[in-house]
Amino acid sequence: MNYEPFVDRLMQHFTSGKFLPEVKAAKDDFFEKAGNFDENSMDFELKMAQFTDWYLFTRKMNGAGRVAVEMVLDDPSYPILEEEKVAYLNLRNSRHSLFEFLKLKGEDLHIRDLFTGFKYVIRQSRVTQGFNKDEFFEARLIPHDGSFVFSNSFCFHPSVVSKFVLKEIKRVNKLPEEDQATAREELISRLFKMKHKHEQYRHLDIHNIYSNESKLRI
Distance, in Å, from the CA atom of 89 to the CA atom of 82, rounded to the nearest integer, reads: 12
Residue 128 pLDDT: 85
Assess whether 182 and 110 both reside in one domain: yes
Asked which of 90, 125, 141 is the last residue of a domain, the reply is: 90
Same domain? 37 vs 138 = no
Shared domain for 106 and 170, answered yes or no, is: yes
Residues 171 and 102 placed together within one structural domain of the fold: yes
Strand order in the sheet with 95-105: 119-122, 108-113, 95-105, 136-144, 147-157
Residue 36's CB is within 10 A of a number of other CB atoms, namely 10
Same domain, 125 and 34: no
Question: Mind listing the pLDDT tens digit of every residue in the chain (218 residues)?
Answer: 789 999 999 999 999 999 999 999 999 999 888 876 667 667 788 889 999 999 999 999 987 789 999 999 988 889 999 999 999 999 999 999 999 999 999 989 999 999 999 999 999 888 888 898 889 999 999 999 888 999 999 999 999 999 999 999 999 999 999 999 999 999 999 999 999 999 888 899 999 999 998 776 66
Is 99 found in the same domain as 18?
A: no
pLDDT at 193: 92
- The answer on 117 and 40 residing in a single domain is no
Question: In the listed set 63, 90, 117, which residue is the last one of a domain according to the structure?
Answer: 90
Q: Are residues 85 and 167 in the same domain?
A: no
CATH number at residue 133: 2.40.50
Same domain, 148 and 167: yes
Same domain flag for 104 and 138:
yes
* Phi and psi, residue 10, nearest 5°: -60, -45
Domain hosting residue 181, numbered range: 95-218
Does one domain contain both 135 and 184?
Answer: yes
| Same-domain pairing of 132 and 194 | yes
Alpha helices per DSSP H over 35-142: 44-53, 68-71, 85-92
Number of domains observed in the structure of the chain: 2
